[in-house]
A and B are shown apart, each in its own frame.
Chain A
Amino acid sequence: MKKFIYNTNQYLLERFPNIWNTKIVWMLGISAIIHLVFYILGFIALSNVETLHKKRNVDIFFENGSIFFSILISILLIVIWLTQMFKNNGFKNFYPTSKYKLFLQFVYYFIIVFVSCTFYFSYMFGLKHYINLTYDDDVFVEEVNNANKAAVFLSHNLNDYMINHRKYPSPYDTIYCETNSGLVDGRFTYLEYYDKSYQFYTLRKEIIDFKDVYSNENIQKKGYVYFITSDSTRTYYYKENVVDIKDLHTSYQTFPLSFNEYSYEAEPSYFNFSNAFYKLKNGNDNDYSEFEFDYLSTYPYQKKKNSIERAIRNKSNHDLLLENDATKIKNTLETFLSYCSKYNIETNISVETWYNIINTGPEYKVKALIGQSKPIKGEFQFAEERTALEEYIDEITTNYYIKSEDLETAFKNIDTIKNYTVINGSIHVFLWIAFSLSILIFCFRISNLRTFIFSIIAGVVLFLFTLLIIAIYGYLVKGDFSEYFAMYLTLIISTIVLIIPLFYKDKFRKLLVGVCLNLTIAGFIPYVLLILAIITSHQSDYCRSLVFEERDCFVLLNDIGFVTTSVFLFVSALVFMYFYASIIKQWRALPEQ
């Protein structure tokens, strides 16, 4: 091994002095090993199935200490690398070099730092690969579908079985159920269950142009139950006519008569259940789809999707219940309990017991509830007065329980990780951390400790000076121009700093030019960003000055977005560094005094 290291070093030293000097080969090698370690750590992080019961496993890197381990390793790696790399500095000794080689040095620094501080990605790759390997996509989808089928029998919450949750058959999926007792119109038919009331309405629409939404007339609009906004219009929905459920059911010939006899009763029934146990993300990487938008959604697409999904689930439940096939239902329960076993979900219920709880007759009324966790022994005295419904719920709640929430969390974790894009926007954060660090290292390498420290001090002083001037201006001049004053003042000061090494390097002392050089290298990206921000401000102001209809104008930073801005700045930085390398060489050759 020692011989291999020696031979490799000699090979690099004789052929690629820059590569030898920056130790990039060894740093990449060591980092690759550490990346592999992090990959393995990620791979085994969820090997205990019970860890899946914990919410947001996708953030496990930040919660189980891996992040601190990662930072520690990154710091150690970079510090050790720097101590090794600072041993030889050909540039300071005036060994021949070109601007291309100088630029390459910077690129090597960047690659080394970037690779040394991105163990997070390897960890996440490990995590994702483990989940993908352990939980096959098709099997997982089947498990979720089966769990959704069995969900109707998870009578945890009586409210889920109330009539207002019914979405099938049509027009249950389109009519609106008023559950607020105060808004129930007593002149018409409505249903009651304990202290709850349910009144169904058809809805009428009112469509207005979006541009009129904030008009005086519309802004005070009242009485609608919800609205849906599209690109050009907003549709308000108002309650129209009361629907008599009894009438409704008799008009549907596909409905069995026996069902009709009971359906208008408000008594909770398994037929009413339309919730999903777990909704798959299907490639959607965000959590928004998990929120229950339903009728309150202002997003037409999601409302539609939710309504349809609920109707489909309700139908599926209906079909299973109408079939009334004990074997089939028991199979459904058995499958669910097998998942409980697979995912170590706590339960004390058997298929038979569970079936007995739900088998309440062809109308499948909910007459017993299953707990969500192990019941706590002992009696509780409730200080507050309890409603009749609450007392009834207590009465029908059995000692049987299934910690189904853990299974749901496990599904959610698996699904989230499966859909997680490892190389996502966060890579830009790491990219800029690595870029900033490599800039600092590069500045130190091309100048010297004295110039480097003076550069930091000068940077801080300039910053404070600018703030002071802005504060004084803001105090003396009242108005809305302080934002522009701050931006333009910073631009002027930055430009002065920028042009000194470019055009006046012979006029000032080398130390001062070196400080400006370092500030330029470190501040180029903020400088470009400042120019973009100034353009954006002007565009925004112009845009605001337009009438509403014409406000759809291009505003630079807002419209190109974070990723494009980041990529643009990064490419600009590389181009700048390449061309600026010749200025760095010129500065280095300047006399000291």
Chain B
Amino acid sequence: MLKCKQITELASNSLDTSIPWLKRLQIKLHLMMCETCYQYIKQIKFIQNTISGIEKHQENIFLSVEAKKRIQAKLNQAKIL
């Protein structure tokens, strides 16, 4: 039987790569009995979703006017434009 410590690590791995179906099944069965692991996994999944949402959240961030000027100058300087 896998212990909570291993289950949490496996669950994290499953967010990064595909893990064997038997391991997935073990996680599932464990979660039916273990509320703490269930909460832990729910929370690291929330973190995962939060990171995926950072870009959307930053939609109101723009290059500063100074940075744009500087980049434009570099592009001109490269005499390519």
- Are A and B a genuine interacting pair, yes or no? no
**Which A residues are within 8 Å of any B CB, using their own CB?**
none
